[in-house]
Amino acid sequence: MSRSPLPVLLPLSLLLGACTLTDASSATPVWQDDFSGTSLDTSKWSYQTGNGFTAGTDYVAGWGNNELEYYTDRASNVSVQGGTLVITARREKMTGPAGRTTGTFDWTSGRIRTAGKFSRAYGKFEIRAKFPRGKGFWPAIWMLPEEPSPYASWAANGEIDIAEGWGSKPTEVAHTIHYGGVWPNNVYAGKTATYPNAGSMDQWHTYTLQWTPGKIQWLIDGQITSEKTQWWSANKNPPSSDADLNAWPAPFDKPFYLLLNLAVGGNFDGNPDATTPDQGQMLVDYVRVYGMQTETGSAGPRPDMTYPWTPKPARPALSDGNLVYNGSFDWSDTDPRVTPDTTSLSGAANSRFWTLYTSDGQVTLSNDAGALKADVTNAGSVNYAVQVRQDGLNIESGGRYEVSFDAWAQSARPMMLKVGGGQDRGYAAYSGEQTVQLSTTKERKTVTFDMKATTDAAARLEFNLGNAGTGPVWFDNVVVRRVGTAAGARPPAADGNLLYNAAFTQDATATIPGIAGVPGSAYWTTWSNVPERLTTGVSGGVITLNVRDVDPANNWHVQLNQTEVPLTAGKSYTLTFKGRASDAREVAVVIGENGGSYARYLDGKAALGPTEQTFTYTFTAPVTNPAAQFQLLGAVGAAGSSYGLSFRDFRLVQNP
């Protein structure tokens, strides 16, 4: 169960067949809990409570995943009944500590672990369990390394997710490992398995992990559903070469402990909706761990793997410098640059080199007036729910790039544009996630960005059409080309402030971004998932966000942002500002990665009220990022409520 802030994007389902373990007969019991008592056996398990964890000196709310629940040690959330562990998620108000403040939460649930009481490297881990259905329910059986680990911290020290269920996808279950560098330079690999024999999550199943040196296998009801034999762990952050690797098979060669929990909401299955029951239960019949003869064998040599720094064959640019192939959607299948493995879009002719990805969205693709027509019939819940993209762009470190294309829509709407990495780059956003407004007339759109990450010969151009309305959108004449050399990190302002135009006195220009139609907003931007619900004004050095009919599914549905903020790994920073709200509102205060995993270096809260207050935060940057992002996230309160947020005197400085 990842503590990564960004949603987990897993590949398509893969069921490896009705294979069974060959080593089962040699398994020797080493630990078990059959839940035969009348309450949780605290000699084997301990409770985790609250709505987050502490990373260094900073409190990470929502367990790093924007989860809604508050975990308790109450019998109403964790109990043992008739030989079964019962973890119950309830829709009820709970007020409790949340870092240095107190918060009120709409759900309670339970989370238990064997940390400090039982952990093991290698073996067969078997859990018989039953998961609840319902949008937003996130049951998990997983493992983390016993502390202290010799491999720094998450996820260089690893994580094994034995089974994670989407409450809204009852026929599927996720098996995942997290590894690589220390967050935010971590990666993951996973499979989405389909339950054998047309099963579903709300039936009893036996989930098994067989872990031996150099190999991890997952089984459901005795059938192998996934296998991993490749991973890595780095001892430097960020890692940049093979010399930074820990010895194979790190990190999965040290003791891990078990966790069982039922989360609610967050990045995995989204938040509950009107169809979600007020109560969900995760039932566990037993947890059994066995030793196996094969766990004493050798892991063998390190397998061939692709790392973020591994050079990849670069696809050459076209004669005009365009890195996009078939950007006008007019290359025939007989074009000499088309090979048998070249992708294409179902329903659209002359669409070689393009790819479609959908999560919970739907789209119909076709050709129209020489352009690609994407008719979105279900917008889905996230911007990448409908994604038209091209892979294989060679984006070089230190280059400045321009993305341009013709686009229009049946109805005016936004879309999200991104040039970034694939899974082995943690879906990093080299361009940031750029909101582009489309009108009903054909217009040329242009976005420029500096490539400040390691060269990526397999970068992706994404047109993300999800979560922003339905109807047709057209694209044509798509170009991505290098136009110069990237600028260095932005220097502090004359007074040492790393935030530009903190007094809101500077107007936007053609080269300096700002909020459309708002004088004095240079370097600042706002965003709302429904643009007409947010209006912004600047007066007397104060910026005011007027929110109407809020969608509170995630607090990031209303944003005030400034990008290109330079940070240095290991340095301490202090942020201050003054703020108030028309009534009591707790907004999120974030400094972190702009795109990709959206890793948060500062993840704070500001409890605003009608009286203006000064807010102060101190944090240490975990990585060097010359283009970090400052955000205030203000979609808060009951659905449909309206309010105003006002801020001034922003200041971010590096401490001596």
- Match 């704070």 to its residue by tokens: 604
Residue 479 CA to residue 474 CA, distance in Å, equals 15
To the query of whether residue 146 is one of the catalytic residues in this protein, the response is no
Token pair of 563 as six digits:
């990008």
Asked if 426 and 597 count as a contact pair (C-beta separation under 8 A), the reply is yes
Give the side-chain half-sphere CA count within 13 A for 620: 9
Number of residues that this document lists for the chain: 656
State how beta strands 572-581 and 643-654 pair.
antiparallel
State how beta strands 101-109 and 69-71 pair.
parallel
To the query of whether residue 164 is one of the catalytic residues in this protein, the response is yes
Active-site residue among 67, 69, 146, 159?
159
Give rounded-to-5 percent helix, strand, coil for the chain. Answer: 5, 45, 50
Asked if 554 and 636 count as a contact pair (C-beta separation under 8 A), the reply is no
Strand partners, 581: 645
Asked if 434 and 417 count as a contact pair (C-beta separation under 8 A), the reply is yes
Q: What does the DSSP 8-state code read for residue 36?
A: -
Token pair of 553 as six digits:
């599914």
DSSP assignment of 419-456 equals EE--GGGTT-BTT--EEEEE-SS-EEEEEEEE--SS-E
Q: Residue 211 burial (CB < 10 Å; 0-12/13-18/19+)?
A: buried
Phi, psi of 197 (to 5 degrees): 55, 40
What lies within 8 Å, CB to CB, of 312 at 6+ separation is: 306, 456, 457, 458
Q: What does the DSSP 8-state code read for residue 533?
A: G
Active-site residue among 67, 69, 146, 164?
164
Asked if 628 and 565 count as a contact pair (C-beta separation under 8 A), the reply is yes
Residue 265 CA to residue 256 CA, distance in Å, equals 26
Q: Residue 362 burial (CB < 10 Å; 0-12/13-18/19+)?
A: middle
Asked if 520 and 506 count as a contact pair (C-beta separation under 8 A), the reply is yes
Phi, psi of 18 (to 5 degrees): -85, 60
Helices (H) and strands (E) in the chain, counts: 0, 39
Residue of 151, 165, 300, 138 lying closest to 220 (CA atoms): 165
Q: What does the DSSP 8-state code read for residue 311?
A: -
What lies within 8 Å, CB to CB, of 25 at 6+ separation is: none
Sheet holding 256-264, edge to edge: 46-47, 111-113, 256-264, 137-145, 159-165, 172-180, 186-194
Asked if 418 and 435 count as a contact pair (C-beta separation under 8 A), the reply is no
Residue 394 CA to residue 483 CA, distance in Å, equals 14
Q: How many CB atoms lie within 10 A of CB 313?
A: 9
Asked if 105 and 215 count as a contact pair (C-beta separation under 8 A), the reply is no
Q: Residue 611 burial (CB < 10 Å; 0-12/13-18/19+)?
A: exposed
Active site residues: 159, 164
